[in-house]
């Protein structure tokens, strides 16, 4: 029969088609084609067509109930429409009454009728089924035993003519039922059976040819002959059908192998490829396309040439999906990798939705009936491989991008993964790729923003897979022990620039790092976890990708709040700035009265050997200096941190060389004043303490000289007057040098650096890192400039860098010379006092002898003095000569030395002259080196020390080859200065003799 145009919904038509297919007898036409002749095969198809026609006439009879006496309304013309609704006002109980009468008529017992009544009452309570009468009436009609009578009543034909379209639907119904491709549109109506499909081309041609032949033969004899043949062959067909059923069951259990010659001949058609395409696009192998590996799809060798390019294009999404599905199902990697898998899984679900839609279109196209003489039905409905390529073009591009992202993400994690995906969204010119990358970023960055939120609002690092750009490094010993920072601030967290994603800038990352580190430090280092929790509850909010303006605003606010809170705690709670001022006052000698009292009280103790110093003595003198100076008004917390101790002892050292002050620093202040910083403070203090000691020693000697010049030294001025004149000049030069050095260090270096530190820490928005940086710069400045940290000639030649002496070494040598000169001056003073004492004794002796009427001094005294002098020259101890009453005059003593220690005066003169010359030579070298320094302040120090050009700065040669050459140069300079001193002494002695001669002449 021709194609039916049904008004029922497609799902009802499909259900009815499946029901008809299951109720009618099924034959294997593939097996019958091999065993039967063409006429027998055609008769079998006609018989099956008749069965289907009979079934569908029963279903379609409800549209016309005029000739149906079994209708609930008889022949009144009312019935059920194609959609199963009542055509008139039929009572729903009519079908049930018909079934009850039939059950009572066929069974002697009314049990089945009663059971039906119970089932019918339960059916009425089901709200799902709306056409209950139609269902019951259909079942009643199908259960009727007298099918021929029903057909005659309906006026239909028992065996209608077989049409080519119906033959196609009949012969391949089994294949379509197994593949589930029997969907139809509501407009075209359903097929006769869900298992109906197309007839093979050979049978189609034979059936059409034989039909045309039967149309030509119109005689009655030929028709009767055909009917007789048909009657004989039906019996053979019935036996063939039974064998076919067994054959089908055996094939279901174990399919028979296809011969090789048939495999070579068979070619896949476009319809077959279309049927298998949805499965291939889901990564599943099919009979035509087989996945030999996850990256290889095997094409059939007999594929027609026009289809090769199309199948290659469709194979790309199949392979890409298979690889992506394998990546999504894996579980390795961190949180961002897992988030990437989740995002790709969502995209693959969308892809599977496209595949489902495409499968529906293919099924609909394959299920649509078509004319056997025309092109296939899929061409009419518009579903071809070429159109599938067009429809999957965007999906293929998306899969291609996702596959590229998966390939690039193999060795990346955290911010590197985000940067890689973000690069597609910013640097790619295709809007589709940019949009897809942005969509993936919205999912991938969720774990990153969760970690970011915990870091900037709670100060906690939740990064189990080390994907965040803030890392907690493992503690490991450093090569430089001075640089080991024990603070939580410096070592607990580090910023990894490689993991900073490109969606944020480096400045933004540094702010984020400082915010979280500050909150963590406030919580654990400062012990203020309550404020951190309150701050987190008040300001915490969800962060997400794309909201850049809101994120930057949140970061800026959090940065200001946390930095202000941290600086407040360090200033108010832990008194950081008070400790910095205390270090300046006590370790950098800013508290002058305290340092002077401490040095005076410790001078007598520190002159003794270092191993005889006791800690309790030092502590007592320190407390005395604090109570007697303005230091007593400082905070008790500051004073209790001061401590006096001795450094490591060495053999032969005295207390001055080992004494030091210490200022104890506790956490969390040690974040700013690190152990390295404390070491720098001690280094500067030890140098300043040594300079202060030299100043103290020279000052004491100068005061003694000035005091003795008005008394003791005036009495011996005739003998040691020129020596004291030269000594006072040298001491004045040394005091000038020490004062200028102290002024430079204390004012030009320390005070200037302190002003810079104050300006840096007073800036609005100052952070703890700014404090640490400013303090480190402050220490570097005072150690570099205060200790004259540049090496002389180090910038001129790198080869002799280690051979040249540093400025600090030169200063230490000059200070040692000054202390040695001070000791020599003290020896000269002792000699002067001894000479004064001898003269006083001699004067008293002369007066006594004069009072007795004798000469004050005799020849015997002179001879005794000479013998005593000779004995002293051979023996280091002087002897007292015997006095006699020899004749002599007191004036005869004026031309001879009366002292027994004249050799000591000569050695003192030589020592003073050598030390003075060496001091000047070293000072000239130092001034010469300072004059060529790049630092302005260091050049200014040289100018201040030689403001009147009394010194002659000497610049050492840059190509000095050895220390022996430098020593030779130094000796030459010392000899030259010594010769100048000797000439000056001669001039002074000549002047003194002339003065004495002119005084005795008259």
3-state secondary structure 275-335: HHHHHHHCCCCCCCCEEEECCEEECCCCCCHHHHHHHHHHHHHHHHHHHHHHHHHCCCCCH
Is the predicted pLDDT of residue 873 greater than 60, yes or no?
Answer: no
Contacts of 88 (CB under 8 A, 6+ apart): 73, 76, 77, 78, 79
Is the predicted pLDDT of residue 864 greater than 50, yes or no?
Answer: yes
Residues of the chain above pLDDT 90, percent: 31
Predicted pLDDT of residue 966: 59
Mean pLDDT of 624-630: 92
**C-alpha to C-alpha distance for 362 and 365, rounded to whole angstroms:** 5
User: Is the CA virtual torsion 673, 674, 680, 681 positive or negative?
Assistant: positive
Predicted pLDDT of residue 429: 87
- Name the pTM for this structure: 0.60
- Enter the tokens of residue 779: 């220490």
pLDDT grade, residue 408 (50/70/90)?
very high
| 473 against 487, higher pLDDT | 473
Q: Which of 569-578, 596-605, 801-810 has the lowest mean pLDDT?
A: 801-810
Predicted pLDDT of residue 147: 42
**C-alpha to C-alpha distance for 930 and 164, rounded to whole angstroms:** 116
At 67 the three-state DSSP class reads coil
Mean pLDDT of 504-530: 91
Q: Which of 10-24, 306-320, 609-623 has the lowest mean pLDDT?
A: 10-24
Mean pLDDT of 771-800: 70
DSSP characters over 940-986:
HHHHHHTTT--S---PPPTT---HHHHHHHHHHHHHHHHHHHHHHHH
Q: Which of 3-12, 683-692, 883-892 has the lowest mean pLDDT?
A: 883-892
**C-alpha to C-alpha distance for 90 and 444, rounded to whole angstroms:** 63
Contacts of 6 (CB under 8 A, 6+ apart): 13, 82, 189, 190
Asked if 918 and 827 touch (Cβ cutoff 8 Å), the reply is no
Mean pLDDT of 423-428: 90
pLDDT per residue as tens digits for the range 725-738? 899 999 999 999 99
Is the predicted pLDDT of residue 890 greater than 50, yes or no?
Answer: no
Region label for 71, one of left (φ > 0), alpha (ψ between -120 and 50) or beta (otherwise): beta
pLDDT grade, residue 84 (50/70/90)?
very low
CA dihedral angle for residue 641, residue 644, residue 650, residue 656, rounded to 10 degrees: 140
Is the predicted pLDDT of residue 263 greater than 80, yes or no?
Answer: no
Identify the residue whose tokens are 């034989």: 210
pLDDT per residue as tens digits for the range 126-139? 777 777 777 887 88
- Enter the tokens of residue 384: 């071809």
CA distances from residue 871 to 481, 629, 841, 862, 884 in whole angstroms, order as listed: 61, 55, 21, 14, 19
Identify the residue whose tokens are 């040289």: 942
**C-alpha to C-alpha distance for 992 and 1002, rounded to whole angstroms:** 17
pLDDT grade, residue 603 (50/70/90)?
confident
**C-alpha to C-alpha distance for 432 and 170, rounded to whole angstroms:** 48
Work out the mean pLDDT of the chain and round it to a whole number: 75
| 735 against 968, higher pLDDT | 735
pLDDT grade, residue 192 (50/70/90)?
very low
Q: Find how far residue 476's CA is from the centre of its chain.
A: 19
**Best mean pLDDT range from 75-79, 201-205, 412-416, 878-882:** 412-416
User: Is the CA virtual torsion 70, 71, 77, 79 positive or negative?
Assistant: negative
Q: Which of 211-215, 243-247, 842-846 has the lowest mean pLDDT?
A: 243-247
Q: Which of 213-217, 339-343, 777-781 has the lowest mean pLDDT?
A: 213-217
Is the predicted pLDDT of residue 399 greater than 50, yes or no?
Answer: yes
Q: ∠ CA(276), CA(278), CA(279), 5° rounding?
A: 65
φ, ψ for residue 334, nearest 5 deg: -90, -165
């Amino acid at each position: 029969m021709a194609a039916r145009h049904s008004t029922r919904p497609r799902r009802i038509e499909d259900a009815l088609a499946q029901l008809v297919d299951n109720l009618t007898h099924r034959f294997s036409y593939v097996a019958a084609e091999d065993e039967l002749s063409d006429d027998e095969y055609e008769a079998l198809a006609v018989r099956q067509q008749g069965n289907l026609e009979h079934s569908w006439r029963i279903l379609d009879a409800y549209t016309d109930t005029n000739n149906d006496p079994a209708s609930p309304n008889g022949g009144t013309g009312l019935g059920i429409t194609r959609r199963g609704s009542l055509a008139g006002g039929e009572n729903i109980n009519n079908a049930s009454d018909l079934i009850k009468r039939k059950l009572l008529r066929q069974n002697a017992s009314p049990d089945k009728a009663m059971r039906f009544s119970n089932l019918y009452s339960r059916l009425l309570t089901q709200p799902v089924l709306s056409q209950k009468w139609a269902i019951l009436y259909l079942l009643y009609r199908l259960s009727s035993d007298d099918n021929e009578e029903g057909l005659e009543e309906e006026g239909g034909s028992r065996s209608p003519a077989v049409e080519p379209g119906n033959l196609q639907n009949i012969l391949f119904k089994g294949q379509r039922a197994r593949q589930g491709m029997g969907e139809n549109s509501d407009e075209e109506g359903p097929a006769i059976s869900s298992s109906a499909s197309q007839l093979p081309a050979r049978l189609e041609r034979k059936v059409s040819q034989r039909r045309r032949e039967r149309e030509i033969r119109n005689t009655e004899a030929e028709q009767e002959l055909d009917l007789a043949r048909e009657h004989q062959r039906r019996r053979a067909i019935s036996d063939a059908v039974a064998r076919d059923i067994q054959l089908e069951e055996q094939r279901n259990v174990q399919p028979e192998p296809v011969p090789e010659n048939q495999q070579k001949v068979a070619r896949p058609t476009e319809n077959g490829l279309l049927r298998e395409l949805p499965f291939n696009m889901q990564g599943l192998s099919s009979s035509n396309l087989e996945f030999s590996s996850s990256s290889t799809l095997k094409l059939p060798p007999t594929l027609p040439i026009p289809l090769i390019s199309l199948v290659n294009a469709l194979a790309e999404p199949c392979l890409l999906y298979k690889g992506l599905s394998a990546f999504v199902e894996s579980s390795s990697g961190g949180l961002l990798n897992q988030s990437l898998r989740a995002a790709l899984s969502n995209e693959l679900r969308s892809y599977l939705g496209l595949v489902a839609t495409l499968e529906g279109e293919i099924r609909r196209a394959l299920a649509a009936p078509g004319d056997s003489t025309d092109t296939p039905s899929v061409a009419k409905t518009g579903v071809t491989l070429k159109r599938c390529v067009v429809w999957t073009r965007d999906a293929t591009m998306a899969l291609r991008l996702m596959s590229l992202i998966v390939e690039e993400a193999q060795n990346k994690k955290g911010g590197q993964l985000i940067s890689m995906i973000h690069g597609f969204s910013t640097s790619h010119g295709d809007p589709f790729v940019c949009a897809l990358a942005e969509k993936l970023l919205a999912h991938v960055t969720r774990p990153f923003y969760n970690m970011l939120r915990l870091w900037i609002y709670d100060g906690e690092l939740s990064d189990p897979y080390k994907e965040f750009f803030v890392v907690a490094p493992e503690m490991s010993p450093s090569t430089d022990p001075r640089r080991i920072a024990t603070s939580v601030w410096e070592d607990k967290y580090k910023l990894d620039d490689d993991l900073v994603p490109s969606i944020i800038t480096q400045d933004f990352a540094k702010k984020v790092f400082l915010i979280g580190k500050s909150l963590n430090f406030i919580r654990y280092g400062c012990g203020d976890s309550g404020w951190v929790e309150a701050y987190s509850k008040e300001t915490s909010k969800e962060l997400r990708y794309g909201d850049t303006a809101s994120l930057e605003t949140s970061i800026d606010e959090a940065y200001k709040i946390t930095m202000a809170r941290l600086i407040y705690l360090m200033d108010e709670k832990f008194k950081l700035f008070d400790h910095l001022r205390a270090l300046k006052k006590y370790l950098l000698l800013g508290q002058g009265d305290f340092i002077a009292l401490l040095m005076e009280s410790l001078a007598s103790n520190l002159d003794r050997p270092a191993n005889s110093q006791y800690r309790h003595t030092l502590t007592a003198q320190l407390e005395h200096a604090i109570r007697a100076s303005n230091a007593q008004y400082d905070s008790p917390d500051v004073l209790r941190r001061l401590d006096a101790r001795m450094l490591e002892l060495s053999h032969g050292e005295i207390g001055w060389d080992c004494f030091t002050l210490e200022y104890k620093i506790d956490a969390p202040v040690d974040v700013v004043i690190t152990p390295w910083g404390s070491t720098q403070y001690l280094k500067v203090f030890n140098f300043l303490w040594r300079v202060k000691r030299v100043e103290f020693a020279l000052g004491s000697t100068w005061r003694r000289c000035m005091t003795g010049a008005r008394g003791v030294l005036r009495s011996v001025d005739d003998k040691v007057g020129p020596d004291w004149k030269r000594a006072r000049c040298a001491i004045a030069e040394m005091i000038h040098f020490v004062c200028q050095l102290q002024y430079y260090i204390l004012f030009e270096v320390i005070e200037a650096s302190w002003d810079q530190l104050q300006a840096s820490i007073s800036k609005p928005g100052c952070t703890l890192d700014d404090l640490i940086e400013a303090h480190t710069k402050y220490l570097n400045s005072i150690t570099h400039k205060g200790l004259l940290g540049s090496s002389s000639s180090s910038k001129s030649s790198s080869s002799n860098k280690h051979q040249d002496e540093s400025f600090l070494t030169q200063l230490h040598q000059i200070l040692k010379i000054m202390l040695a000169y001070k000791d020599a001056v003290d020896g000269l003073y002792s000699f002067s006092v001894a000479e004064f004492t001898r003269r006083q004794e001699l004067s008293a002796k002369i007066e006594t002898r004069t009072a007795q009427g004798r000469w004050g001094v005799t020849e015997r005294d002179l001879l005794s003095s000479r013998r005593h002098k000779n004995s002293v020259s051979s023996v280091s101890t002087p002897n007292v000569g015997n006095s006699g009453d020899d004749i002599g005059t007191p004036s005869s003593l004026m031309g001879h030395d009366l002292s027994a220690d004249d050799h000591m005066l000569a050695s003192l003169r030589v020592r003073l002259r050598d030390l003075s010359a060496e001091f000047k030579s070293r000072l000239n070298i130092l001034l010469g080196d300072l004059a060529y320094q790049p630092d302005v302040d260091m050049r200014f120090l040289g100018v201040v020390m030689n403001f009147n050009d009394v010194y002659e700065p000497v610049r050492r040669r840059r190509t000095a080859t050895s220390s022996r050459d430098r020593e030779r140069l130094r000796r030459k300079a010392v000899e030259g200065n010594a010769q100048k001193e000797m000439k000056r002494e001669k001039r002074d002695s000549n002047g003194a003799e002339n003065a004495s001669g002119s005084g005795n002449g008259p």
